[in-house]
Chain A
Amino acid sequence: MADKHPDQSRITTELSRELSLFHVTMMGVGMMIGAGVFLGIGNSIGIVGPGGLILTFAFNGVLAMFTAMSYAELSSAIPKAGGAYNFARIAFGRNISFLAGWMEWFASSVAGSIYALTFAIYTLHYFRHLGLLEWVPLPEYISEKIVAVLIAVVFIYINYRGASETGKAGAFFTLGQTILLGVIGLVGVGVAIVEPSRLTNFEPFIPNGWDKLLITMGFTYVAFEGFEVIAQAGDETIDPKQNIPKAMIYSIFVVVTTYILVAIAAVVAVKANAPDLTMEPWQWIGSFREKGFGMAAARLMPLGGFLVTLAVIFASTSALNATIYSATRVSYALGRDRMLPGIFARISRRTKTPYFALIVTSLIVIGVATLLPTKDVASSASIMFLFLFFLVNLCVLKIRWHMSDELNYGFLTPFFPITPLTAIFFQILLAIWLIHMSWLAWIVAPAWIVSGMLIFYLYSKKHALATQDEIIVLEEEPTPIEKAYRIMVPISNPNNALQLVGNTMKICAAKDAQVGLLHMVPIPEQVPLSDAEKYALPGKEAIIEAMLYLAPRFPITSTIRYCRNVARGIVMAAREKKIDLLILGWYGNGPHRRSFTFGSTLDPVVAKVPCNVVIFKDCPNQTFKRVLVPFAGGPNSVFAFEVASILADPEEGQIIPLNVARPGQPTTDIDAFLDAAVKIKQLNRNLFKPRYIIDKNIVQTIIQEANEGDYDLVVIGASRERMWQQMVMGSIPEELARHCQKPFVMVKATEGLKLLLKRII
């Protein structure tokens, strides 16, 4: 056997990068312009009328573009075979990602079966029309099944030959069908220009009411599912960071334009006053249901029926090619990560294709095409595609919010998070609508999901490989006593552990808290996770030092974990352990890049962790006599007062709340704000000696006051502006953090709805 298991050999094989932007764009277009548009036009126009038909494709185009942009963002950052399966694994972990891959595999395979059958039905119908099949003794039903299997086998072989052949074959067929449909659409527009009277076919524009649009949008939405196949091609595409997102966006544009053109052509194709027409043109087209488009095209131009048949043949074959490709790649990815047996990941050295995954996918495609009723299974596939798109939009939200600093993006979704949230809302709506289409689909789909869950718990959970993105607990020591208030202190090395712990102790005493010490062990990408133990030694020393100091006084837990990214590891640990306060130490001189305030590790932690945060910079373990607290109001300022009163000397300490306002601007009523803060946090009001300063340059005044005044500590609440506002305008706390020469503390309060959202998402 020439092929080797990837883990059993030092010489591994990988997929070849041979697909260009044109190839992957055409693969996406090919998967979208399958049977959906041909079946959709006739059925939809009867429900929603001529104008509603055009709006159906236009609105679906916008929705599809939103999901395509989510796919584009994720695929540019994670360009590996697996598509939604990979995104879900990184965003939500193994179980959800297995389900994503499992359903995607099924949905794509069944879609392949439908395209094979569509090819068979239209081809045989055309040959029968020409009188070429009179000699065939077999019933029509059997003939269609045989032809469906034959065409499936042809494209299975093309897929086996390798990515280049797959891409080139797909691109050829897709180009053909798109040109044909484009010609039909342009002829329709030309006819409308030459004979403006045909535009009266658009009256009544939307005869059965606007609400019917939702029905037809749901019915035709599957005609826009094609970007998954582009995501699958990440391992084989030249320059995937640029070409994958471009291909997704371009394919949607090509498809939306084509659909709108052919829909216009279908509406204007039929003369309203034709002698054999006893009803409105839109009703006449709708009466033929799935054949409506073909019947309309036959009246539009000479050879119209022939061209539509030809387009259907091109469309179904290219979609068949793309779906076999997509289904094979997702099962390959499941095998690669041992979610399915490793044999699924075996790659042929000769053709560089995952041959076993292709064999099993082929069996599903052929089995479904020959044995199962296609309409209900197709609806099940639609539900699963909608679920996949829903999941991908959730993934883009979660990954952007939690991992955006550690990924290399080639594209970012605009209007984030409005676009993915809008797509999610409509995908739920359309999936629910499919209940009206096929009740059996709502049995088949859950049955497939349940079977997938069984496989996951019986096989995948035990065998799945740890990926680079997972965080593993190396050692964990539980606390002897549980307290209501939980503080976590990430510790990096023994040299600064005690300084941080000394200040932590004061806060622990004030809050009657338990302390969790955490050391994250970052493992470089090149090092296998099995060698992580070697990197844990400095962290162990730091934790032991801190424990010796804290253990006699407070309940302590300690944890050592290894991860690929420290920031994400800290955020995950804080979320998992339901931490109330995270205490961080900042020992650097500032970040090298202007986009960071404290650095590439601390900034994401401060932004994303679902609890209050206190950052100590150069703070010795001592009591502080004069503490400056620049403030401008808000929860962060209240929290800053609380932390300042904890750190200040209770006997001789003074806290100086400082408010700087520009000349002519209203000043904050410090006394009223202080009284409220003191009442909320039950602080000692006598410690506070407030000050006002009027100056046009607020930032410089505060920095000057902090550095030149008689203070031994500066405490400030974090900026509340959004990230882009800070980047554009800068912020006072972050500027002070950079330039303050005194011991410095920055605090951030996370409470109310913001805290709830951070904990959930």
Chain B
Amino acid sequence: MGTNMIIGIILMGLAYGFVVYLVLWSRRTINFIAARKLNSAREILEELHHGR
């Protein structure tokens, strides 16, 4: 297995893993905002830092 392939597999894993992470984070955030009936960005940011 060449160096390019090792680097490539690692990069692909990181990229796909990051996409999965963003999907899960986004889903959780959308549900969190809806459950707490938050509105403005200020309120949401504050609750995100305090509330979870």
Contacts and interface: CB of A to CB of B under 8 A. Distances in A.
Interface of A: 51-52, 54-55, 58-59, 61-62, 65, 69, 72, 76, 202-206, 241-242, 245-246, 249-250, 252-253, 256, 260, 400, 404-412, 414, 593-596, 603, 723-724, 727-728
A408 B39 contact: yes
A595 B42 contact: yes
Interface of B: 2, 4-5, 8, 11-12, 15-16, 18-20, 22-23, 25-27, 29-31, 33-34, 38-46, 48-50
A65 B17 CA distance: 12
Most chain B CB atoms below 10 A, which of A204, A256, A408: A408
Given A205-B5, A414-B25, A723 B45 contact: yes
Contacts of A404: 40-42
Given A58-B16, A411-B29, 10 more contacts: A61-B15, A205-B5, A253-B19, A260-B12, A409-B41, A410-B30, A411-B30, A411-B33, A594-B46, A727-B50
Given A54-B12, A55-B8, A414 B42 contact: no
Determine chain B's interface SS by DSSP, over half rule: helix
Contacts of A595: 42-43, 46
A205 B12 CA distance: 12
B26 A407 contact: no
Determine chain A's interface SS by DSSP, over half rule: helix
Nearest to A51: B8
A72 B29 CA distance: 12
A204 B4 contact: yes
Contacts, number: 118
A232 to B, nearest CB: 19
A400 B42 CA distance: 10
B30 A242 contact: yes
Nearest to B3: A205
A178 to B, nearest CB: 16
Contact of A202 (B5, B29, B42): B5
A61 B49 CA distance: 28
Given A408-B40, A727-B49, A245 B26 contact: yes
30 contacts: A51-B4, A51-B5, A51-B8, A55-B11, A58-B15, A58-B19, A65-B19, A203-B5, A205-B2, A205-B4, A241-B34, A246-B27, A246-B30, A253-B19, A253-B23, A256-B19, A260-B12, A405-B40, A405-B42, A406-B40, A409-B39, A410-B33, A412-B41, A414-B25, A594-B46, A596-B42, A723-B45, A727-B49, A727-B50, A728-B50
A206 B16 contact: no
B29 to A, nearest CB: 6
A408 B33 CA distance: 10
B39 to A, nearest CB: 4
B40 A252 contact: no
B42 to A, nearest CB: 5
Contacts of B29: 411-412, 414
B45 A249 contact: no
A224 B39 CA distance: 30
A246 B25 CA distance: 11
B18 to A, nearest CB: 6
Nearest to A728: B49
A203 B31 CA distance: 44
A724 B22 contact: no
Contact of B46 (A242, A603, A727): A727
B16 A256 contact: yes
Contacts of A412: 29, 33, 41, 44-45, 48
A62 B12 CA distance: 10
Contacts of B30: 76, 242, 245-246, 410-411
A52 B8 CA distance: 8
A241 B22 CA distance: 18
Nearest to B48: A412
Nearest to B5: A205
A52 B12 CA distance: 10
A61 B16 contact: yes
3 cross-chain pairs, A with B, having the tightest CB-CB distances, nearest first: A404-B41, A58-B15, A205-B5
Contacts of A253: 19-20, 23
A205 B5 CA distance: 5
A59 B27 CA distance: 21
Contacts of B16: 58, 61, 256, 260
Nearest to A407: B40
A724 B49 contact: yes
A358 to B, nearest CB: 31
A328 B2 CA distance: 51
A211 to B, nearest CB: 13
B47 to A, nearest CB: 9
